[in-house]
Structure 1
Amino acid sequence: MPGAITAHQNRGAYRLPRYYAPSGWGSGYRRFGVGFSLNSILYNQNYWIQDPYTYRLPEAYGPYRWVRYYNDALLVDLDSGRVVDTVYDIFW
């Protein structure tokens, strides 16, 4: 298909710098699922994914933001800290 961008061509977009957990988060990686309430240090503004479209994530509206958590993208309700959607292992 002319003009189509393949996953191979976009692969570098998903390779981000190493993830550093917030200071005070000593629990290491745990796979969080929908409904889990996160500690607020994990979804502070430093971890927001500023342009979800770049990673083919749906837009986040209202109190929701996509946040990077290790190699996962979590859609978080900023009012409650609840995870409402997940994409595991999107980054590498």
Structure 2
Amino acid sequence: MKKAVLFLSIALIVAPDIALAQQQQDRMQRPSQPQPPRPQPPKPQPPKPQPPRPGGPSVQPLRPGTGGPAIQPPRPGTRPVKPLPQHRPGAGRPPQFRPIHRPGFLYPHGYRYRRWTIGLLLPTIFLSTQYYYDDYAHLGVGAPPRGYRWVRYGPDLLLVRSRDRKIVDVIYGAFY
């Protein structure tokens, strides 16, 4: 039985090689037929000139000192108007900031104080009227832009984008 299995496995291994050798021999004995010519790859073309883009030198205004209009100095006797300092998100406390005393903050069940930073997402529970802070004028910060809310979180005041809960500004220690 072992011998029969051995001869059968040898035949299965050698048979494909014999068939392949016969095919190659048949090809060599046949007269060769002319092969069709291979298509040549296209030759590279020189780059075509690009049409002028909008905003090129013909559209841009001339710079001072190159024949264009000169920058006018301020008129004598007028003072430049100094804008009021604005609070920039991420700049810390605004210049006219005053911390105020408010009653203690009650955290929702399962929450405790956490120091929030810009870029984090505030949990949805804090985006409710219970946590909104609308008396921002007493603190010296401006009204929030459209789509943003001032939210009190413990002693801190957070400026939060309402649609995605992203914190864009934090004023630490706004309440004591």
| TM score, norm. by length of structure 1 | 0.78
Q: Where does residue 147 of structure 2 map in the other structure?
A: 63
1:1-92 correspondence to structure 2 within 5 Å: 14-22=100-108, 24=109, 26-92=110-176
- For 2:141 and 2:133, the matched residues in 1 are separated by 10
Report which structure shows greater RCO (CA 8 Å, sep ≥6): 1
Q: How many residues align?
A: 79
Rg comparison, structure with higher value: 2
Q: Deviations over 1:4-56 (max 9, x none)?
A: xxxxxxx7x7110110013x4x1311101000001111221111111211111
- For 1:27 and 1:21, the matched residues in 2 are separated by 6
- For 1:70 and 1:44, the matched residues in 2 are separated by 15
Please state how far the C-alpha of 1:73 moved relative to its aligned partner. Answer: 0.2
Instruction: Percent identity, please.
Output: 33
Note the aligned Cα RMSD (angstroms): 1.5
- For 1:54 and 1:27, the matched residues in 2 are separated by 27
Unpaired runs of 5+ in structure 2?
1-97
- For 2:107 and 2:147, the matched residues in 1 are separated by 23
| TM score, norm. by length of structure 2 | 0.42
State the SS of the aligned residue for 1:45. coil
The structure with the greater share of residues assigned to strand is 1
